[in-house]
Amino acid sequence: MLPNSSTARCRAFFSDHSDFSDLTPTQYEAAYSWLEENDLLLDLHSSTAVGERVFRAALASSGAAWLPDADALVRGPEELPEDALRTAEALGIPEDDAYKQVSAVWGKIDTEARALIGNAGELALVSLITEATGARVEHVAEYSDHFGYDIAVYSRRHPLHIEAKSTVRRGRVAFYLSRHEYETMRRDPAWQLVVVQLTRHLDVAAVASVSGEWVSLQVPQDKGSFGRWEACRLDVPPDALACGIPRLAPLFRPGTTGPLLPDAQNG
């Protein structure tokens, strides 16, 4: 009703009309505040259906435990969780459309989270390497994404170019690799893929390396002259992860401890 009536008239209508006698003024105010907090009152004449806008906002603000892993847990309308189905039904949204909305909300949340988590992991890794080695370390991704890696460790004998992939997920290591990163790996012997496991507070919990040989076996293959893959998702099993960054070993300061060390050096 808000696009066609003032806030005061809507408030009076829901408070006084007998058809809405089951809605208390407190409930109305709580609902109005929720709409406002989720920016649904900024564009009351949006071309997107009201039900879809409310459904997306409800999903994004729900804090549902399944939403961050929706790409793996919800692979079709038939796998929609009960809470999403109930909300869609209340808003008159068919299951197929609800699934599309879940995918869209997950994509937006995942993109934002990956940017935040990725930057936190890179900065933490720069700090760890700087403290553990005597080498000069540069966060090259801070000013350009054209290198094909995120962190440069400068050393005459043992240079290292690290592509860092960060995650806060437990028991699942999944990330996207661009074609540019892959091609850099193929031609740059100093390139190394490193996974940084972060806590929910974005502190480093563990660091692991993934070999270029394993990556090469997993990426898609261009099969025709008119098609080329530009990015792919890699799901890394535990047996493909090597603890720490073994290639940094020659640069470690005496007495170095911490997550950068291979298993043997961690004791």
Could you give the CA distance from residue 131 to residue 133 in angstroms, rounded to a whole number? 6
Q: Is residue 264 over pLDDT 80? A: no
* 130-135 long-range Cβ contacts below 8 angstroms, 24+ apart: 132/248, 132/251, 132/252, 132/253, 132/256, 132/258, 132/260, 133/248, 133/251, 133/252, 133/253, 133/256, 134/251, 134/253, 135/251
Residue with tokens 């004998």: 157
Please write the tens of the pLDDT for every residue from 114-163: 889 999 999 999 999 999 998 999 999 999 989 999 999 999 889 999 99
Nearest-CA neighbor of 210 among 181, 250, 231?
A: 181
Structural domain spans, the chain: 2-109, 116-266
CATH architecture of 116-266: 3-Layer(aba) Sandwich (3.40)
Q: 242 near 210, Cβ under 8 Å?
A: yes
pLDDT (tens digit, 9 = 90+) per residue, 130-144? 999 989 999 999 999
CA distance 207 to 120: 13
Per DSSP, helices labelled H in 38-81 are 50-60, 70-73
13-72 pLDDT, tens digit per residue, is 887 888 888 878 888 889 889 999 998 888 888 888 889 999 999 998 988 889 888 888
More confident residue, 256 or 185: 185
Question: What pLDDT does 151 receive?
Answer: 97
What separation in angstroms does the CA of 6 have from each of 45, 218, 245?
14, 57, 61
Q: Identify the band that residue 267 occupies on the pLDDT scale cut at 50, 70 and 90.
A: very low
- Predicted TM-score (pTM) of the model is 0.73
Please give the DSSP secondary-structure letter assigned to residue 2. G
pLDDT digits (tens, 9 = 90+) for 187-237: 999 999 999 999 989 999 999 999 999 999 999 999 999 999 999 999 999
